[in-house]
Amino acid sequence: MVKVYTIASGKGGTGKTMVSVNLGTMLAQLGKETYLMDADIGMANVGLIMGLQDAPVTLHEVLAGKGKIDDAIYTTPGNLKVIPSGISLQGFQQADPEKIRDVMSELVKRCEFLLIDAPAGISKDGVVPLAIADEVILVVNPEISSIVDALKTKILTEVVGGHVLGCIINRTDQEKSDVITKKMEKVLGVRVIGIIPEDANVRRASSAKTPIVIKYPTSPASRAIKKIASDLAGIAYKEEKTTEAKEGFIDRFSRVLFRKKPE
């Protein structure tokens, strides 16, 4: 049975797209036929993260009636199928977000999991992804502005007839994860389905335009994402031994040179 999840956040900068890309990649690596559609047609980032910024056909063309969905699907590392949105303003102006429903109807015939990376915040374009998914997963940071905006997104999802499965807390302090989880569940009224710790390798993987679950598979963030993906796929999660991700000379030099001073 196909599951459609919309990955949403109340504000930009929470790491929503990073979660979408890596969660999709991990599901694909677990043997699940997985598609990721970038429904943030105004501020698309999936293509940039995955090195698809020059893709000749994107969701923009499909939503404008100028391209076929088959031509907008790209296979990325880890065997994840990605439907990126374009980065041009002209493409955004011509795209009809209401047609996302039709695109989704076509994609669910081909996969086991369809992840939809929704626009951040509350907007007309962002309502459709919240309404058409089986369930919505909120990505939230442990800070008041992110939590408040996530709560607004949850309320909007319920207003348009959607359902929030739970939230993923991104960029957390591992030592305070239990306290943060309890507070988040109390404030948002949904369960925490995963916690992704602060991890410097996320930025390194992004710079390399490679999902962290592939670039640094044993890093803290990768292990957290694998656990979330395993739970969604109904597969028993096997804890991997903690090992340091291998670094090249440039990585080691940068880490030492730009190391943050204790606050």
Between 35 and 244, whose confidence is greater? 35
pLDDT on residue 176: 81
What integer pLDDT is reported at residue 256 of this predicted model? 54
pLDDT at 165 over 80: yes
Give the C-alpha separation, 55 to 57, whole Å. 6
- Cα(25)–Cα(97) distance, integer angstroms: 25
pTM > 0.75 = yes
- Which helix (H) or strand (E) element contains residue 179? helix 177-188
Mean pLDDT (whole number) for 98-115: 96
Query: pLDDT band at residue 257, thresholds of 50, 70 and 90?
Result: low
* Close Cβ partners of 152 (under 8 Å, ≥ 6 residues apart): 10, 122
> Which amino acid is located at 150 in the chain?
A
- The total of other beta-carbon atoms located within 10 Å of residue 189's CB is 12
Domains of the chain, start order: 3-257 (3.40.50.300)
CA distance 3 to 78: 19
Note whether 67 and 20 are within 8 A (CB).
Answer: no
Cβ pair 170, 19 in contact under 8 A: yes
* pLDDT attached to residue 126: 84
pLDDT range class, residue 248, cuts 50, 70, 90? low
Q: In the beta sheet, which residues pair with residue 7?
A: 117, 137
Distances, alpha carbon 29 to alpha carbons 22, 45, 177, in Å: 10, 22, 27
